[in-house]
Amino acid sequence: VTQRTIAAISRSLRWVWPVASSLALLCPASPALPIEPIVVRSEAGHFTVRVAGVDHPEHLNHLHSLELSLNVDAGKPVSGASISLTGQRRYSSTPLPTAPRVAPEPQPGHYRVDGVRFHMPGEWRLAFDIRYEQIRDRATLDVMVK
Amino acid sequence: MTTMPIRLAASLAMLALCAFHQAQAQTEWTPREREILASLTLSSLPKPPPDPTNKFGDDPHAADFGHRLFFDTRLSSNGKVACVTCHLPELAFTDGKPVAVGVGVTPRNAPTIVGAAHNIWFFWDGRKDSQWSQALASIENPLEHDMPRDRLVEVIRTNPDLARDYVAIFGALPAAGDRDGVNRAFANLGKAIAAYERRIMPGPSKFDRYVDAILANRAPAPQDNLTLDEKQGLHVFISDQMGGCIRCHNGPLFTNGHFHNIGVAEPNGDPRGVGRMAGVEIALADEFNCTGRYSDARPGDCAELTFARRDSPELLGAFKVPTLRNLSKTAPYMRVGDRHLLEDAMWHYRTLPMARIGQSELPDLTISPAEFLELEAFLLTLNGPIDAPAKYLRPPPPVTVN
């Protein structure tokens, strides 16, 4: 009888999650990382970083590459910076399953990050750690992976 | 005379019923849920990509030879063990045992090979990066085939039926004592087995047929329509807030192919419980990996090895996520095969045991007892046939050599 009661209560509460999910849709969400660039400013304000997906980086379980353009605020490209990328699924401790690498600059101020893979759907935070001369700064980008 | 209005009314009623079913199919799942369903159906699974490490991977003659090798007990030290010993076609290429038993008793449950051509990593800890190099490790493992490579090549050489097929596909066998030649012949045998295994794919299940109908905005056939419990279970499965199963069991094979620590205890504190932490190092050092001299890959083909994550805390105690297809045939469950019933395996996710090695990633599930049962009902809709040439699901016919 207890199990049946629990089951009945459970069934009657099924509307809770659909309603909650619908309400969540009204809240601002992270963008899917598009092929077109997104511009983010670093935390300490030293750099602007244009991030673009080479293919469709929001897709699950594929290796992706990202293109970065690094500029100081005045718009001047930053050449010779050291950049590393880490990623973590938001609201959990799960990191990216791969170790992305930044390729040598194909042209000044432009960088390419290879080996990005998302293996779980949901919201991910990418962190670009930037070292340039004596400056250390970080730019973050939240992306929705479907 | 009176039958005409009746027929007309019946036709209109049928049309209305069809329209109702179509409307129901469109409204039962939200647009986002339909996207998720589309990502899970087998219809979205492409053909396995060519394996750049195995130029014989799509060679039908190599596949036929691999089929024969797969079933051949001469490839073991005691003459009783073949690949098929632990990968039985009638059990979705598993063996029904808690742990695989070859020449000895292994510490691991035999995973299915169905759909494995889509895997990136092989073995529970991902210590191999191709199907063919996985086969090689099983052949040499003293607990599986227990057949060192030089003895294996001798078996091929001294059995005319095997030697004939080998030479026809790969060319001359190496001379005895030619270490590099033996390694290459060993690799070739693995590549033939992989050419066979690549053709073993999952066939459509009730779930796939249901989703395909829903996405086509038509009513599923009665036998394909999920029950209320199965639909609710599917909701739980894909909901990130409820079951969250889809976080790791995603894509049409219901696995992300990566490694997670879920707190499954290793019997007797076996040090192999370190899982992916050690597995990735073994894969990188393997002479038969993608970048090795016996691989057919070109520079740039080995991105998975290049970008493999190493030496990171979450890899400790992490093991590969298995597919959830054909669960009714693949018991017992978990890598140590200690869960004989699906309900037992699912119960693990509710009890949230502490990991003995590393840290468990499992979140607290917010599902009720009823939803737990519905989830189980849904999982059983993922049973389906094996999609492979019929001849590959049977032992090969005997071969005579003149």
Cα–Cα separations (whole angstroms), residue A24 to A17, A19, A88 = 10, 9, 21
CB spacing of B307 vs A114 below 8 angstroms = yes
Q: Does B251 touch chain A (CB under 8 A)?
A: yes
Rg from Cα positions in chain B: 24
CB spacing of B241 vs A3 below 8 angstroms = no
Q: What is the pTM of this model?
A: 0.88
Q: What distance in Å separates the CA atoms of residue B111 and residue B83, rounded to the nearest whole number?
A: 12
Q: Does B311 touch chain A (CB under 8 A)?
A: no
From A128, A119, A127, select the one nearest A146 (Cα to Cα).
A119
Q: Are strands A64-72 and A47-53 parallel, antiparallel or unpaired?
A: antiparallel
Q: What distance in Å separates the CA atoms of residue B206 and residue B220, rounded to the nearest whole number?
A: 10
Residue A30 is classified by DSSP as P
* Full pLDDT tens readout for chain B, 402 residues: 445 566 666 666 655 554 544 445 445 899 999 999 999 999 999 999 999 999 999 999 999 999 999 999 999 999 999 999 999 999 999 999 999 999 999 999 999 999 999 999 999 999 999 999 999 999 999 999 999 999 999 999 999 999 999 999 999 999 988 999 999 999 999 999 999 999 999 999 999 999 999 999 999 999 999 999 999 999 999 998 888 899 999 999 999 999 999 999 887 667 668 999 999 999 999 999 999 999 999 989 999 999 999 999 999 999 999 999 999 999 999 999 999 999 999 999 988 888 889 999 998 877 899 999 999 999 999 999 999 999 999 999 988 776
Do residues B23 and B188 make contact, with C-beta atoms less than 8 angstroms apart? no
CB spacing of B306 vs A101 below 8 angstroms = yes
Cα–Cα separations (whole angstroms), residue A77 to A46, A53, A113, B38 = 12, 19, 17, 42
What dihedral angle (degrees, nearest 10) is formed by the CA atoms of A31, A34, A37, A39?
Answer: 10
ipTM of the complex: 0.88
Closest B-chain CA to A115: B307
Q: What distance in Å separates the CA atoms of residue B207 and residue B377, rounded to the nearest whole number?
A: 11
Q: Which of residues 94-133 of B touch A (CB under 8 A)?
A: none
Residue A124: its chain B contacts at CB < 8 A? none
Closest A-chain CA to B315: A97
Residue A121: its chain B contacts at CB < 8 A? 36, 240, 246-247, 250
Q: Distance from B303 to chain A by nearest Cα, in Å? A: 7
Closest B-chain CA to A4: B370
> Looking at this protein, which amino acid is placed at residue B54?
N
